[in-house]
Amino acid sequence: MISRALRLLAPVAAAALLVGCSAAAPSGPLKPSQLAEASQSPTASVSPEASLPSGDTTLTAGCFLTPAEVEAATGNALTSPPEASSGPKGDASCQYYLAGEPMVGAFGCHCLSTNGPFDLEGQGTAWLDNLPSEAEPVSGVGDGAYLLKGSTASDFWAVKGQSGIHISIAQQSLTVEQFTMLAHAAFGHIAAGA
């Protein structure tokens, strides 16, 4: 059942990311000058128009990456706190809205999204078997990992023990090393019971 769900996950995740981000993201990208002005305002609040304190190492409930980890990997500040929601099987989704310019010709939000951890119910790395054939294996992450790069989005799946994670980014490309850094941080938080 999970393998069938995984086959459907890639196109659904990409569509949900674009639709969800465009519906929830602030209208238009924020310029770095707008972020600086908002953070200097005496009445600034944490909203899409205000910047977050750089280097925030607090985990938002339902998220397995801190804002600081996402900022370090992407090279962009966040424009709002991470937004978490729960999936039907107890897994969580988390959105991180990024400052900076989106890719040329791109639409939707400039955001990083996480899903999981998924309980693999004994499947382990077999959970990764149904990924699209274009997915490239990535060594050195958990028990198995794959990267699928698209023209305006990239998806990264990884397994460690019986936990699976999915990290995707829209409107920006990340290197294998950047995804690896995020996955190591995620598995560290998951192992710590975060």
Contacts of 193 (CB under 8 A, 6+ apart): none
Average model confidence (pLDDT) for the chain? 73
Region class of 62: left (phi > 0), else alpha (psi between -120 and 50), else beta: left
Largest CA distance in the chain: 53
| DSSP code per residue over 50-119 | SPPPTT--PPPTT-SS-HHHHHHHHS--BSS--EEEE-TTS-EEEEEEB-SPPPTT--S--EEEEEEEEE
- Tokens read off for 11: 């196109």
Task: Determine the residue type at 103.
Answer: M
Return phi, psi of residue 111, to 5°: -150, 160
Give the per-residue pLDDT at 38: 28
Q: Is a pLDDT exceeding 90 seen at residue 27?
A: no
3-state class of 170 per DSSP?
Answer: strand
Q: How far apart are the first and last CA of the chain?
A: 27
Give the per-residue pLDDT at 167: 95
Per-residue pLDDT of 163-184, as tens digits, reads 999 999 987 788 999 999 999 9
What pTM does this model have? 0.70
**CB contact at 8 A, 69 and 90:** no
